[in-house]
């Protein structure tokens, strides 16, 4: 950032002393944005409130499914620290901020909150028209968080919640110490990181929910639009920011619905999604995870993904000492079109240590070396195989076993 020069400062100050800029009149923000001013103990805050029927489709996904999601399970697979309560009392949260830098100088100027009320989804957006309305915004938000059974966000663990916590502490408000929180970014990464180039919400909306936003405002320009509003008081350009935030909250609801159906097993899933779902099940229910991996293999994964899944499955089978199943998987993996030493090493170890068949072990290592050599494997891999081979040969010589 450029430091103002001494001259520049002096110039600016002189100008300020002669006349402070009058602010031009603009139509009030609540009229432009279609909201109302709510009174709180800390003053007034602008609230834009919309309601959606549960049958409302966000992309291909009806909103209502979110409230049927098996939450205990979802919380467990998402590794939420505090278990989530009643699905019908969840609070969906997304913030628009004055920057991504974090720290005490970044404000959440717009907070979108969604919850179930009388069989409809209520989506309320709390907006501070200037910095001195932050207290009122937080005062309006606090009871929503207090009475929720849990909070659902996308990347809230890394961004929205620490930011809100900072704002609460600065305003000398209590932040619930053990807030139940489901950050959908974590399970999304598990399910889709292998399939999509990134796991941004926009990507998931497009690919999973089948939603294409029209005229969406890029996140990077949002702080600038707010600062411009503070100077000009013209609220019209902010309408796109409100729409963006509304879509974000609806996507949270829709995405939770998708996870619910997938976990209940009644969604039609692609092979890659099955493999991702299996990763989600792993820490919760291993057998379901393994079943899911097998379904993924059967559903036609790409060869690279299938290879990863085989190795993962084999690792679990080995831990369960189901050696036949593990060997079958390693066998299959050893035929992968890009040479990978791992299944070969596992097979060699199995024959050497389990079956105590040094001859078979040596034959496997020799075959692996042939393949590795012609496949142009790195020096390190060839070295490790050679080392294993010489050890096996030494052991064979000392035990008197001889190869064919």
Partner 1 sequence: MLGAILDDLLTSPSTGPCITATRHFPPRPPVLAPFPPSLDSRIADALRARGIHELYSHQVLTWELIEKGHHVVVVTPTASGKTLCYNLPALQALIAQPDARVLYLFPTKALAQDQLAELEGLAKQLPEMRMFTFDGDTPQDARRAVRARANLVLTNPDMLHSGILPHHTKWATLFQNLRYVVIDELHAYRGVFGSHLSNVLRRLHRICRHYGSAPQFIMASATIANPGELARRLTGAPVEEIAESGAPTGDKTFLCYNPPVVNPELGIRAPYLGEAARLAVRFLREKIATIVFAQSRLATEVLLASVKHGVADKTGDSGIVRGYRGGYLPTRRRAVEKGLREGEVLGVVSTNALELGVDIGHLDVAVLAGYPGAIASLWQQAGRAGRRSGSSAAILVATSAPLDQFMATHPEYLFGAPPEHARVNPDNPFILVNHLKCAAFELPIGDHEKFGELDVRRLLAALEDEGVLHHTGSRWHWASETYPADHVSLRSVTSDNFLVIDTTALDTAQTKRRQIIAEVDWGSAFATIHPKAIYLVESEPYEVRELHFREDEEKVAYVKRVQVDYFTDAISAKGVWILQRLADESRPAYLAEQGEVLVAEKVVGFKKIKMGTLENVGSGEVELPQQERQTTAAWLTIAPETLERVSASREELIDGLRAVTYLLHHLAPIFLLCDIRDLGSWLGDTTPAEPGTVATRESTKRRLLAAERFNPTIYLYDSHAGGIGLAERLFEILPDLLRRGLETLHACGCRVGCPSCVGPVNEVGRKAKATAQALLRALTD
Contact residue for partner 1 among 36, 81, 86, 130 (CB under 8 A): 130
227 is a contact residue toward partner 1 (CB under 8 A): yes
> Closer CB to partner 1, residue 226 or residue 316?
226
- Give the separation between CA 259 and CA 239, rounded to whole angstroms: 30
Contact residue for partner 1 among 28, 62, 85, 99 (CB under 8 A): 99
Instruction: For residue 336, count other CB atoms closer than 10 A to its CB.
Output: 17
Contact residue for partner 1 among 36, 132, 207, 370 (CB under 8 A): 132
Tokens encoding 191: 């399910």
Contact residue for partner 1 among 22, 41, 105, 400 (CB under 8 A): 105
> Closer CB to partner 1, residue 221 or residue 320?
221
**Residue range at the interface with partner 1 (CB under 8 A); choices 92-100, 182-190, 207-215, 246-254:** 92-100
Write out the binding residues for partner 1, residues 1-30 only, by CB under 8 A.
Answer: 1, 3-7, 9, 12-13, 15-17
Task: Compute the half-sphere exposure of residue 322: CA atoms within 13 Å on the CB side of its CA.
Answer: 11
Tokens encoding 131: 């910095």
* Helix and strand element counts for the chain (H, E): 16, 9
Q: CB of residue 75 vs partner 1: minimum separation in angstroms? A: 22
- Give the separation between CA 90 and CA 152, rounded to whole angstroms: 7
Strand 90-97 versus strand 150-153 pairing type: parallel
Tokens encoding 262: 């997938």
Write out the binding residues for partner 1, residues 51-70 only, by CB under 8 A.
Answer: none
41 is a contact residue toward partner 1 (CB under 8 A): no
Q: CB of residue 15 vs partner 1: minimum separation in angstroms? A: 7
| Number of amino acids touching partner 1 (CB under 8 A) | 33
Q: Residue 55, SS3?
A: coil
Distances (CA, A) of 321 to 25, 112, 315, 347: 76, 50, 10, 14
> Closer CB to partner 1, residue 106 or residue 149?
106
Q: CB of residue 173 vs partner 1: minimum separation in angstroms? A: 11
393 is a contact residue toward partner 1 (CB under 8 A): no
Burial of 371 (0-12, 13-18, 19+ CB in 10 A): middle
Q: Residue 32, SS3?
A: helix
Residue appearing with tokens 């000492």: 321
> Closer CB to partner 1, residue 3 or residue 24?
3
- Site map 137..166 versus partner 1, x via CB under 8 A: ----------------------------xx
- Give the separation between CA 9 and CA 23, rounded to whole angstroms: 22
Residues of the shown chain interacting with partner 1 in the complex, contacts defined by CB under 8 A? 1, 3-7, 9, 12-13, 15-17, 98-105, 107, 130-132, 165-166, 169-170, 223-224, 227, 230-231
């Amino acid at each position: 950032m450029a430091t103002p020069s001494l001259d520049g400062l002096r110039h600016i100050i002189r100008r300020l002393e002669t006349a402070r800029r009058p602010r031009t009149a603009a139509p009030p923000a609540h009229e432009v944005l279609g909201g109302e001013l709510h009174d709180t103990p800390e003053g007034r805050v602008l609230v834009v409130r919309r309601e959606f029927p549960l049958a409302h489709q966000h992309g291909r996904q009806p909103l209502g499914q979110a409230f049927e999601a098996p939450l205990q399970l979802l919380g467990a697979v998402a590794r939420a620290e505090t278990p989530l309560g009643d699905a019908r009392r969840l609070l969906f949260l997304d913030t628009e901020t004055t920057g991504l830098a974090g720290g005490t100088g970044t404000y959440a100027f717009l907070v979108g909150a969604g919850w179930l009320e009388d069989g409809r989804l209520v989506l309320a957006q709390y907006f501070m028209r200037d910095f001195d309305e932050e207290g009122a915004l937080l005062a309006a938000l606090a009871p929503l968080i207090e009475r929720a059974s849990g909070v659902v966000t996308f990347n809230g663990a890394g961004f929205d919640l620490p930011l809100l916590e900072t704002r609460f502490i600065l305003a000398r408000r209590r932040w619930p110490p053990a807030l139940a929180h489901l950050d959908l970014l974590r399970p999304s990464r598990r399910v889709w990181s292998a399939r999509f180039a990134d796991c941004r919400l926009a990507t998931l909306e497009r690919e999973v929910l089948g939603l294409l936003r029209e005229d969406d405002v890029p996140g990077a320009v949002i702080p600038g639009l707010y600062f411009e509003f503070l100077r000009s008081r013209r609220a019209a350009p902010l309408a796109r920011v409100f729409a963006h935030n509304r879509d974000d909250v609806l996507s949270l609801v829709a995405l939770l619905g998708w996870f619910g159906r997938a976990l209940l097993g009644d969604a039609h899933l692609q092979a890659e999604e099955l493999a991702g779902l299996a990763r989600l099940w792993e820490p919760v229910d291993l057998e379901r995870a393994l079943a899911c991996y097998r379904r993924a293999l059967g559903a036609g994964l790409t060869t690279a993904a299938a290879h990863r899944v085989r190795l993962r499955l084999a690792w679990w089978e080995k831990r369960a000492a189901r050696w036949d199943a593990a060997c079958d998987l390693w066998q299959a993996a050893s035929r992968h079109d890009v040479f990978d030493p791992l299944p070969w090493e596992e097979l060699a170890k199995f024959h050497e240590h389990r079956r105590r068949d040094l001859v078979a072990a040596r034959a496997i290592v020799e075959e692996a070396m042939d393949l590795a050599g012609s496949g142009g494997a790195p020096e390190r891999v060839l070295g490790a195989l050679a080392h294993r081979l010489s050890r096996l040969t030494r052991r064979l010589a000392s035990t008197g076993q001889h190869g064919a």
